[in-house]
Amino acid sequence: MNTKPLKHIAVIMDGNGRWASRRKLPRTMGHRQGVEAAKRAVEAAGNLDIPYLTLFGFSSENWNRPEDEVNELMHLLRLYLRGETAELARNNVRLRVIGDRTPFADDIVELIENAESLTLGNTGMNLTIALNYGGRHDILQAAANWAKMCQEKGLAPDVHNAETYFPGFLMTHDLP
Active-site pick, 2, 16, 47, 62 = 62
**Residue 49 designated active-site:** no
Determine phi and psi for 2, rounding to 5 degrees: -80, 125
- Please, what is the Cα angle at 84 between 7 and 74, to 5 degrees? 100
Distance linking the first and last C-alpha atoms of the chain: 21
Distance CA 171, CA 70 (A): 24
Residue 95 Cα distances to 44, 139, 150, 158, angstroms: 16, 22, 31, 34
**Residue 14 designated active-site:** yes
Residue 114 Cα distances to 6, 48, 117, 142, angstroms: 29, 27, 5, 25
CB atoms within 10 A of CB 3: 4
- Report the catalytic residues: 14, 62
